[in-house]
Amino acid sequence: MGNILVCDDERSICEMLDIALRREGHKVETVNSGEMAKRKLDGAIYDVIVTDIKMPHTDGIEVLRYAHQVSPDSAVILITAVDDYEAAVKAVKAGGATDYIRKTPGLVDEIKLAITRAIEKMALSRQNFAFKRDAATRNSLDNIVGASPAMEKLKQTIRTVASTQSTILIYGESGTGKELVARAVHVCSPRAAEPFVSINCGAFPETLLESELFGYVKGAFTGANQNKRGLFEVADQGTIFLDEIGEMSLPMQVKLLRVLQERCVRPVGGTNEIPIDVRVIAATNRDLDKQVAEETFREDLYYRLSVIPVQVPPLRDRREDIPLLVNHFLKKYGPAAGKSIARVDPACLQTLYLYDWPGNVRQLENTVERAVALESSEELRVELPAERPKTRAAAAGVGAYAGPGLSIPAGCVLPEGVDMEKYVADIEKSLLQSALAQSNGVQTRAADLLKISYRSFRHLVKKYDL
């Protein structure tokens, strides 16, 4: 349904169209002169403007030109009597008017059809705008790389919540892929065919963020030379992703809370409210509970956003996904760089596995991209940033092994395969050596540390010639 402005100096025409279009579910305003129509256009954004051509003082062609100037996204439908036919044709050919309709007994039905066509065309245009604005392609669950238990749990959560209309709040450190999760929710939802619009709330000052989200009307501030639709309106019927919501100022939080409660937006400088149907997904890397306690984040907004909380695990808590991610990024950046890199150096892969990744998946991706750009052989070798110390998997509470002859994460299979017998043997040998070192060579103590019998321990010591 649309926001419609009807302009005709015949009050009976305005009243007839007002009743008919409201029955169709449209929001309708009527005026009886071109000057009044221009004033309305200065204070509100309309999807469709229906105007008579022949009116005293300011005619429909002038209304058309003014609408094209201050609200270029609005469709304009001209109503014409028979003797105005040539003027209507000229207006349409000039590219300003969407359609023209003669005043006949079938006027109402023709206007209904014309408005439906115009709104459908505008909806398609908004979708295209949203897709172009957000250059990244839509992502499904297949684009979330990872087979660890934590990621499988996350994927199942996405499948479960996608079909609902509830607001979602995604928690996660920077670089964990919060937007990727939001996109997956959108693609798996009934809104998948509609726009997905994202905005980083921390990237805009308060006044600019308000106009970006809610739009503005001509004259709302210096430089506002025409009406502009906000991202909430662009995302109508689809999903809006509010990244870094914890960066939003308190005054903006109040305005956002009202939008979530009323499901309508008021453009900056405007007087009319525009109804919206948008699925809201927010994300943060901050501790909102702490911010609420410190009164830097509104508690009522927090509960509005956190209807369904979703946690994205950091990379250090799902290290078993690192080989899959490295292989994924190698396939992504290798061909793009014109490189034929067939594999990853196993020792380098182990280094990547043991690294703490404070920047999470984004840092891993940048590291692989840099390595691909610098690599000249068929085997990728990766160097970590010198200023970032490596963190041993044991210290992080995860399973890995870096013993002699073995340089892959525990439980992971490299793309080129793994020698399982040698892998297991190296693990056993390394554990025996570590136990003997900790027990100062006392074999009974070493056996106790490994939770095996002394007889089994002696057998393994002999087997590996220790």
Would you say the C-alpha torsion 443, 444, 448, 451 has a positive or negative sign? Answer: positive
Residue 403 has pLDDT above 50, yes or no: no
Residue 461, in any domain of the structure: no
Assess whether 308 and 336 both reside in one domain: no
Among 10-14, 178-182, 234-238, 405-409, the range scoring the smallest mean pLDDT is 405-409
Assess whether 120 and 152 both reside in one domain: no
Calculate mean pLDDT across residues 121-142. Answer: 60
Q: What's phi and psi for 78, nearest 5 deg?
A: -95, 135
Assess whether 201 and 163 both reside in one domain: yes
The mean pLDDT of the chain is 85
pLDDT at position 410 is: 52
Give the domain CATH number at 38.
3.40.50.2300
| Model confidence pLDDT, tens digit, residues 273-291 | 899 999 999 999 999 999 9
Residue 432, in any domain of the structure: no
Assess whether 160 and 269 both reside in one domain: yes
Q: What is the band of 404 on the pLDDT scale with cuts at 50, 70, 90?
A: very low
Assess whether 164 and 253 both reside in one domain: yes
pLDDT at position 412 is: 57
Residue 143 CA to residue 99 CA, distance in Å, equals: 43
More confidently predicted of 295 and 272: 295
What is the separation of C-alpha 214 from the centre of its chain, rounded to a whole number of angstroms? Answer: 18
Assess whether 60 and 21 both reside in one domain: yes
Domain range spanning residue 224?
141-313
Assess whether 66 and 112 both reside in one domain: yes
Give the domain CATH number at 220.
3.40.50.300
| Model confidence pLDDT, tens digit, residues 315-362 | 999 999 999 999 999 999 999 889 888 888 888 888 888 888 999 999
Assess whether 246 and 175 both reside in one domain: yes
Would you say the C-alpha torsion 341, 344, 348, 349 has a positive or negative sign? Answer: positive
**Token pair 């009743």 in the structure block, residue:** 19
The two structure tokens encoding residue 261: 């409660």
pLDDT at position 85 is: 61
pLDDT at position 82 is: 62
Residue 13 CA to residue 6 CA, distance in Å, equals: 9
